[in-house]
Structure 1
Amino acid sequence: MKFSLGANQYYWPKATIAEFYQQAATSNADIIYLGETVCSKRRELRQKDWLNLAQELAKTNKQIVLSTMALLEAPSEVMLLQKYCANGEFIIEANDVGAIEFCRQNKVEFVCGQAINAYNAPALKRLVGMGMQRWVTPVELGRDWIKQTLDELDRQNLRDKFEVEIQAYGHLPLAYSARCFTARSENRSKDECQLCCINYPSGRLVDSQEDKQLFVLNGIQTMSGDCYNLSNDIASMKNLIDVIRISPQAENTFTILDDFIDREQHSEYRKLPANHSNGYWHEIAGMQTI
């Protein structure tokens, strides 16, 4: 198994981003995803900065992947996407089907991001034909569904054409909207948001009327209230999942990464912390825990 650091979902100051990736450069991650995937107004790092960072991190012999936006809302964002897909050096994590087409046109291999609804063997077969080299499973897919899909592709001699990656730690991105929920929570319009996301390095929690941690607001992105945590399920991923993804956290990301790596070798059950869950992997309600 390989281990990856997914693209950072949150909006952090430039200095914080620089410090995080300095640590990532010497971490035990095999793959590092870079780029803004949520909101084009988040410009602590611009395209040139991300490309420069990718070139620096590539010197560590890790695989560097440029991640694209999941929701495009303006022609300028499409133009920027085209430039990413034509970078000529790094593969792309496509989080929008437009990115897949640009990659195909530029003959660039791509990772099918979890924001793309690829749920079955016919869809994956089509994506392989377009240059997909890794499939990041949609967040709600469980082990049995993934296995059934891959078994069908194995019968078509396609299973060895791509890798399978799963987000194993972090709040799950559930939905995207043209409306900015973080701005709305501060009684601001999206156009006058004042980039308030930067005040919430782990997103903004939303509780239900029953005081259950229900969602995390992250700009236009709605995330799961619980932290998804498959640390007890690594053994059941063997011969099925190729890459385990850790989503960057405001604190302790690299400790979490090292713990996952250790537990691949020394599997043991530990009680999950409060507000952690693993339901989707077991094909039950996502907020539940086994």
Structure 2
Amino acid sequence: MQKSLPFIAGAAINCYNQHTLRRLIGMGLTRWVLPVELSGQWLSEVLRQAVVADIRHCFETEVFSFGHLPLAWSGRCFTARSENRSKDQCELCCINYPEGRTVSSQDGSQVFVLNGIQTQSGSRYNLVNQLPTMQGIVNIVRLSPQAEGTFDWLARFKANLNGTAPQPLPATDSNGYWLNLAGMLKG
């Protein structure tokens, strides 16, 4: 396949191996965002395969590292629908929910955040303490802006780039997927 416009393959693209990466590179891939459910171990193995296949130099690697994980998207805004508004007359009602609308399990645990057309993880994903394991394999870490405290967390990430300023994770944060655990857990 002939290369066309350069593009970034986001985390929603099911790209789990070097064979898919090679195909996407042939189409113009310049950056690959690791699917959020994959671990650091998985990433290391795929990148090892990419080196063997002589394609590693063709793309950057990005890891979603902070924020509610994007899990699914809908063609219809949940916020507007929950307020019985048509999508053309929503009046941007989502502005009333800057952190989205939460969905809890029967035991009261927050399992999802519904934010516009996105279904997101209930816990905030936080890889601030995994930054040292990303050295040499991850080019970009993505921090999703929060309603409050984004710049504080950005400073914490910068301070801990080399693991010299580990951070206690809030009880509502998780890092399970990166550590090859259930996504809502933290290690």
Equivalenced residues, count: 187
- Work out the CA distance in 1 between the residues paired with 2:76 and 2:46: 34
Given the alignment of the two structures, is residue 275 of structure 1 paired with residue 177 of structure 2, yes or no? no
1:47-66 aligned at under 5 Å gives the runs none
Gapped runs of 5+ residues in structure 1? 1-103
Counterpart residue type for residue 270 of structure 1: Q
The one of 118, 138, 141 equivalent to 1:221 is: 118
CA contact (8 A) 2:74 2:117 kept: yes
Name the aligned partner's letter for residue 148 of structure 1.
E
* Structure 2 residue matching 1:281: 3-state secondary structure: coil
1:142 corresponds, among 27, 39, 42, to: 39
Aligned AA (2:112): F
Counterpart residue type for residue 66 of structure 2? Y
Residues 1:166 and 2:66 are matched in the alignment: no
Aligned 1:234-245 pairs, distance under 5 A? 234-245=131-142
| 5+ residue gaps, structure 2 | none
Provide the C-alpha distance between the structure 1 equivalents of 2:4 and 2:28, rounded to a whole number of angstroms.
7
* Amino acid across the alignment from 2:167: R
2:13 is the counterpart of 1:116: yes
Shift of 1:121: 1.2
- SS of the aligned residue for 2:166 comes to coil
SS in 2 for 1:183: helix
Query: Contact (CA 8 Å) 1:234, 1:267: kept in 2 or not?
Result: no
TM-score (structure 2 length as normaliser): 0.91
Say if 2:131 and 2:162, in contact at 8 Å, map to a contact too.
Answer: no
Identify the residue that residue 16 of structure 1 maps to in structure 2.
none
Larger deviation: 251-260 or 120-129? Answer: 251-260
Match of 2:77 in 1: 180
2:184 corresponding residue in structure 1: 287
Structure 1 partner of 2:144 = 247
Find the residue that maps to 1:173 and give its secondary structure.
strand
CA gap 1:248/1:275 in 2 versus in 1, 3 angstroms = same
The normalised TM-score by structure 1 is: 0.60
Equivalent AA in structure 2 for residue 116 of structure 1:
I
Identical positions, percent: 52
Instruction: Point out the structure with the larger helix share.
Output: 1
C-alpha contact (below 8 Å) 1:235/1:267 kept by paired residues? no
| Residue of structure 1 equivalent to 2:107 | 210
Superposition pairs for residues 66-85 of structure 1, below 5 Å?
A: none
Report deviation, 1:189: 4.3
Q: Residue in 2 aligned with 1:155?
A: 52
Question: Aligned partners of 2:14 and 2:89: how far apart in 1?
Answer: 31
The one-letter code of the counterpart of 1:193 is: C
Query: Partner amino acid for 1:108?
Result: L
Structure 2 distance, partners of 1:200, 1:243, is 29
Measure the CA separation in 1 of the matches of 2:102 and 2:133. Answer: 31
Partners in 1 of 2:134 and 2:92 — Cα distance?
A: 39
